Chains A and B, each alone.
Chain A
Amino acid sequence: MIYVNAFILCGIICAIGQIILENTKLTPGHLNAILVIVGALLSCFGIYEILLSWGGAGASVPITNFGHLLFKGAYEGFLEDGMTGLLNGILKTSSGGLSVTIIMGFIVAVFTKPQH
């Protein structure tokens, strides 16, 4: 059943993105920045945890999850250790995905030529 939920949730988030792109003049860059902020907001109000437990990977695959991870790390750090914890923790939970993205971007750019 969680597969159906993941399909519906991830599909709806992508469809919302497509609707925004179709009806406004925003670029995909704008869209992704907006979605990250929306993810952080949803996480702030505790909605993202519910989405994660209902839709599983359907909530963890879209870019909104990046905002959720950033907020989660920052907030948990703040509860643990105040301001120091916030500053140290803000990238803690998302650093896995972020570092791999940067490293893969570098490796691929070095070893391939753009095809134009």
Chain B
Amino acid sequence: MKLEEYNKIVKKHSAKEDKFKNVLIAFLTGGSLGVIGQLFTTFLEKCFYMPLHECYMYTMIMFVVVSSILTGLGFFDKIVSFAKCGFIVPTTGFAHAMTSSAMDHESEGPIKGIGSNIFKLTGSIILYGLVAAFFLALIKGVIM
């Protein structure tokens, strides 16, 4: 059998995921997280009289703590398999990547396991964020 025919048969029988449905689910779950964040922000602003940027920081921290604990308890993967990008794109996905890579290598010890692997997935986010921010700020600062 030729490779092309084989690929055709594989394509015919592999499960098709409905792309539009996935996008819709990501929109709805991501939007709900945004509303929860806004509720928490308004709550902090009204009850503790914090400045707005601190409210955003504590909202981010709230999401990070909740999703780290959910990852530790093993619920997060089940949520992501349902919600897709709705939970990967918000800060929850960042915390999940950090916690899960630390957890997976915990058995190798505190230095070689957790220490060297905790940034395995999030390292790229921090690296490219930092590099992009550094050069953009430098260029904008020098030009302006």
Measuring CB to CB, which residues of chain A are less than 8 angstroms from any residue of chain B? Answer: 2-3, 6-15, 17-19, 21-23, 28-33, 35-37, 39-41, 43-44, 55-58, 60-63, 65-67, 70-71, 73-75, 77-79, 86, 90-91, 93, 96-98, 100-102, 104-115
Supposing A60-B37, A110-B114 touch, asked if A97 and B141 sit within 8 A by C-beta, the answer is no
A63–B136 touching, CB < 8 Å: no
Residues on A with beta carbons closer than 8 Å to the beta carbon of B88: 17, 28, 31-32
Within 8 A of A (CB), among B33-60: 33-35, 37-42, 53, 56-57, 59-60
A90–B133 touching, CB < 8 Å: yes
Residues on B with beta carbons closer than 8 Å to the beta carbon of A66: 91, 94, 125, 129
Return A86 CB to nearest CB of chain B, in Å: 6
For the complex of A and B, list the 6 residue pairs with the smallest distance between their C-beta atoms, beginning with the closest: A14-B30, A10-B34, A11-B31, A57-B37, A74-B137, A109-B102
Which residue of A is nearest B60, CB measured?
A: A97
Measuring CB to CB, which residues of chain B are less than 8 angstroms from any residue of chain A? Answer: 17, 19, 22-35, 37-42, 53, 56-57, 59-61, 63-65, 68-69, 71-74, 84-86, 88-91, 93-95, 97-99, 102-104, 106, 114, 118, 121-122, 124-130, 132-134, 136-138, 140-141
B98–A37 touching, CB < 8 Å: no
Could you write out 5 A-B pairs with CB less than 8 Å apart? A13-B89, A31-B88, A32-B124, A44-B140, A104-B64
Supposing A11-B31, A31-B88 touch, asked if A57 and B59 sit within 8 A by C-beta, the answer is yes
Beyond A63-B94, A77-B137, 16 additional pairs, beta carbon < 8 A = A6-B34, A6-B37, A10-B30, A11-B30, A15-B27, A17-B88, A28-B97, A37-B128, A40-B136, A73-B133, A74-B134, A74-B137, A97-B60, A101-B94, A101-B98, A109-B102
